[in-house]
């Protein structure tokens, strides 16, 4: 047999695989198993060597084939363990009647409902690698720029029209005449296809702005210098996704395409990873001296102690006196910090709207509340309320966190709307999600025992709607613990005097049913 040293690397690595895989094989067969595999590898190598086919492809094939040893060893071990595991696996493969009953009971339990809701939450945590968007949102205030208050502003929408930016020539007028502003810069948000040497037609967030913008938000570039005009500044996420973290990105070309807008720009700076402008999405800043559109959004830093009312008065005065603009609608201001928390507010509004709709649809009335507050019902009602609250909280958390992580946006600004409160997609996602949760929660609660909160079972259909000899027809559901029966009538008999379902019409209805003579 040739010396061990003469064996090529691929054969030695293959043998190493066999030695590791042998650990999985049953100990009594291990030596023989190892011998068989090693002999096969040796013979394969020798055969290929003698036929002159020992090339790179065959070496890789040998390595790949030797990995099959892990499967082989696992198979042997599984066969060895199969008789031992059979009694444990039996209840799962063919559950007995008792096991089935236990599974059914478990499915009806209120705790199962909460566990089932916790699973998607856990999945979202795992799939999103620890909820980065939610964590950033919660710590938004901690990484907001320091110093005076930052506001961004636009005009109040006209009736029947969309939101408007302010006229672009107001920005230099405010910059030179305002005594209440520390700094002011224009910006606009757009989405146009962007191409680099490594990525084609990506659609990052494109922010058109001026050099002062970066001073106002208080960010210094991690690499390069902020340009004065017609150059690109990339944020860290854009640097990673558009240039694949190219260390020589400074000075390279970046192509911005789109309808009536197709130019190459030089990359002048990359921003630090800690900086984000209301978004976690990759953002490309195109620095311009003069805005390319007639209307712009404005980012301004206020001097300490200045209030919005004072600022509004001053800015309106400057607009009238310097630029002769008599604005027909109010300027709108949005605080930077509160803008970061917009998703929370949006979700709160969505949840409230959904609560009201659900209450209306399910006819939740004050008399239900009064009955629940009676001393004899109080403990059970508290249980029901706690379970309902826990269920709704968990389900809403799944919706909120899921939407937030999936949308990958911290602000609705990024969704194309100038007004962050009107970000349509995220808002609709929240409303639909919250409504779905509340409808499900109320429907689920209705089908539970009022004492033990287990789902009612054994539905029995009584009578039929066409023949009401049994006084009523409908379905009866039982609590499996024997706490009670829920009657769900299909059609109530009209002769039941005590029934609340018969409503007598008063004289005001007479005209409607008057017969023509």
Crossing angle of helices 375-407 and 424-446, in 10° steps, is 150
Question: How far apart are alpha carbons 61 and 10 in whole angstroms?
Answer: 10
Is there binding between residue 58 and other proteins (CB under 8 A)? no
Query: For residue 218, what are the contacts with CB-CB under 8 A and spacing of at least 6?
Result: 145, 146, 147
Among 13, 49, 58, 65, binds other proteins (CB under 8 A): 65
| Sole window of 66-74, 141-149, 357-365, 406-414 interacting with other proteins (rule: CB under 8 A) | 66-74
User: Whole-number minimum distance, CB 90 to other proteins, in Å?
Assistant: 22
Full DSSP string of 328-362: SS-EEEEEHHHHHTHHHHHHHHHHHHHHHHHHHHT
Is there binding between residue 9 and other proteins (CB under 8 A)? no
The first and second tokens of residue 73, run together, are 């060893």
User: Whole-number minimum distance, CB 8 to other proteins, in Å?
Assistant: 16
User: Whole-number minimum distance, CB 80 to other proteins, in Å?
Assistant: 11
Is there binding between residue 72 and other proteins (CB under 8 A)? yes
Is there binding between residue 68 and other proteins (CB under 8 A)? yes
Cβ atoms 434, 401 nearer than 8 A: no
Among 10, 24, 54, 66, binds other proteins (CB under 8 A): 66
Query: For residue 127, what are the contacts with CB-CB under 8 A and spacing of at least 6?
Result: none
User: Whole-number minimum distance, CB 93 to other proteins, in Å?
Assistant: 20
Nearest to 419 by CA among 205, 217, 161, 134: 161
Among 11, 22, 24, 69, binds other proteins (CB under 8 A): 69
The first and second tokens of residue 309, run together, are 């009312």
The first and second tokens of residue 502, run together, are 């018969």
Is there binding between residue 70 and other proteins (CB under 8 A)? yes
| Sole window of 43-51, 197-205, 246-254, 293-301 interacting with other proteins (rule: CB under 8 A) | 43-51
| Sole window of 73-81, 189-197, 297-305, 353-361 interacting with other proteins (rule: CB under 8 A) | 73-81
Is there binding between residue 39 and other proteins (CB under 8 A)? yes
C-beta of 71 vs 122, nearer to other proteins: 71
Is there binding between residue 64 and other proteins (CB under 8 A)? yes
Is there binding between residue 487 and other proteins (CB under 8 A)? no
Crossing angle of helices 110-127 and 97-108, in 10° steps, is 80
Among 11, 22, 24, 38, binds other proteins (CB under 8 A): 38
Is there binding between residue 317 and other proteins (CB under 8 A)? no
| Sole window of 59-67, 291-299, 401-409, 417-425 interacting with other proteins (rule: CB under 8 A) | 59-67
Cβ atoms 475, 461 nearer than 8 A: yes
Is there binding between residue 42 and other proteins (CB under 8 A)? yes
Cβ atoms 305, 148 nearer than 8 A: no
Is there binding between residue 79 and other proteins (CB under 8 A)? yes
Sign of CA dihedral 69, 73, 76, 81: negative
CA end-to-end span of the chain: 120
Cβ atoms 282, 235 nearer than 8 A: yes
Residues in binding contact with other proteins, number by CB under 8 A: 23
| Sole window of 31-39, 168-176, 447-455, 488-496 interacting with other proteins (rule: CB under 8 A) | 31-39
User: Whole-number minimum distance, CB 274 to other proteins, in Å?
Assistant: 48
C-beta of 18 vs 404, nearer to other proteins: 18
User: Whole-number minimum distance, CB 75 to other proteins, in Å?
Assistant: 4
| C-alpha count within 13 angstroms, C-beta hemisphere, residue 278 | 26
| Sole window of 41-49, 127-135, 468-476, 481-489 interacting with other proteins (rule: CB under 8 A) | 41-49
Is there binding between residue 509 and other proteins (CB under 8 A)? no
Beta bridge partners of 467: 464
Crossing angle of helices 375-407 and 110-127, in 10° steps, is 20
| Sole window of 71-79, 189-197, 356-364, 490-498 interacting with other proteins (rule: CB under 8 A) | 71-79
Question: How far apart are alpha carbons 304 and 148 in whole angstroms?
Answer: 5
Beta bridge partners of 234: 270, 284
Is there binding between residue 488 and other proteins (CB under 8 A)? no
User: What is the C-alpha radius of gyration for the chain, rounded to an integer number of angstroms?
Assistant: 35
Question: How far apart are alpha carbons 497 and 517 in whole angstroms?
Answer: 33
Is there binding between residue 76 and other proteins (CB under 8 A)? yes
Cβ atoms 240, 290 nearer than 8 A: no
Is there binding between residue 44 and other proteins (CB under 8 A)? yes
Q: How far is CA 74 from CA 20, 21, 34, 497, in A?
A: 12, 8, 13, 74
| C-alpha count within 13 angstroms, C-beta hemisphere, residue 259 | 2
Q: Quick one: residue 160, left, alpha or beta (phi over 0 = left, psi -120 to 50 = alpha)?
A: left
Q: In the window 408-437, what residues touch other proteins (CB under 8 A)?
A: none
| Sole window of 75-83, 111-119, 244-252, 393-401 interacting with other proteins (rule: CB under 8 A) | 75-83
| Sole window of 63-71, 276-284, 376-384, 475-483 interacting with other proteins (rule: CB under 8 A) | 63-71
User: Whole-number minimum distance, CB 87 to other proteins, in Å?
Assistant: 21
C-beta of 72 vs 136, nearer to other proteins: 72
Is there binding between residue 67 and other proteins (CB under 8 A)? yes
User: Residue numbers of the site for other proteins (CB under 8 A)?
Assistant: 1-2, 35-36, 38-40, 42-44, 46, 64-72, 75-76, 79
């Amino acid at each position: 047999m040739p010396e061990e040293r003469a064996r090529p690397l691929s054969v030695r690595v293959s043998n190493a695989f066999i030695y590791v895989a042998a650990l999985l094989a049953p100990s009594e067969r291990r030596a023989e198993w190892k011998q068989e595999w090693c002999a096969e590898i040796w013979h394969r190598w020798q055969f290929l060597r003698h036929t002159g086919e020992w090339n790179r492809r065959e070496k890789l094939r040998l390595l790949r084939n030797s990995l099959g040893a892990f499967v082989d060893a696992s198979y042997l071990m599984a066969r060895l363990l199969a008789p031992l595991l059979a009694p444990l696996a039996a209840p799962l493969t063919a559950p007995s009647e008792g096991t089935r009953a236990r599974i059914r009971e478990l499915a009806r339990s209120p705790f199962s409902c909460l566990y089932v809701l916790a699973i998607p939450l856990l999945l979202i945590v795992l799939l999103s690698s620890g909820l980065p968007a939610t964590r950033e949102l919660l710590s938004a205030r901690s990484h907001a720029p320091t110093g005076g208050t930052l506001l961004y502003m636009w005009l109040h929408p006209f009736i029947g029209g969309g939101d408007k930016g302010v006229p672009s020539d107001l920005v230099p007028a405010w910059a030179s005449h305002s005594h209440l502003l520390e700094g002011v810069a224009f910006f606009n948000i757009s989405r146009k296809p962007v191409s680099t040497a490594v990525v084609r037609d990506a659609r990052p967030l494109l922010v058109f702005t001026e050099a002062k913008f970066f001073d106002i938000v208080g960010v210094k570039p991690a690499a390069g210098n902020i340009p004065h005009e017609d150059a690109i500044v990339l944020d860290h996420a854009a640097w990673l996704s558009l240039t694949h973290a190219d260390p020589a990105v400074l000075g390279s070309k970046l192509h911005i395409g789109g309808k009536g807008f197709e130019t190459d720009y030089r990359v002048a700076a990359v921003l630090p990873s800690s900086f984000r402008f209301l978004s976690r999405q990759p953002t490309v800043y195109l620095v311009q001296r003069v805005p390319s559109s007639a209307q712009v959004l404005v980012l301004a830093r206020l001097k300490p102690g200045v209030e919005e009312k004072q600022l509004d008065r001053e800015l309106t005065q400057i607009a009238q006196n310097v630029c002769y603009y008599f604005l027909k609608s109010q300027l709108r201001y949005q605080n930077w910090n509160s803008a970061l928390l917009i998703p929370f507010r949006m979700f709160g509004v969505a949840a409230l709207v959904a609560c009201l709709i659900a209450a209306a649809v399910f006819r939740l009335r004050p008399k239900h509340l009064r009955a629940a507050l009676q001393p004899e019902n109080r403990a059970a009602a508290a249980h029901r309320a706690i379970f309902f609250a826990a269920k709704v909280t968990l389900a809403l958390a799944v919706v909120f966190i899921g939407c937030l992580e999936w949308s990958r946006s911290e602000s609705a600004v990024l969704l194309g709307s100038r007004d962050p409160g009107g970000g349509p997609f995220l808002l609709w996602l929240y409303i639909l999600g919250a409504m779905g949760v509340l409808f499900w929660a109320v429907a689920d609660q209705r089908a539970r025992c009022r004492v033990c909160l287990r789902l009612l079972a054994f539905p029995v259909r009584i009578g039929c709607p066409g023949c009401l000899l049994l006084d009523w027809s409908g379905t009866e559901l039982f609590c499996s613990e024997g706490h009670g029966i829920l009657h769900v009538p299909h059609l109530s008999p009209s002769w039941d005097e005590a029934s609340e379902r018969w409503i007598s019409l008063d004289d005001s209805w007479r005209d409607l049913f008057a017969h023509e003579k």
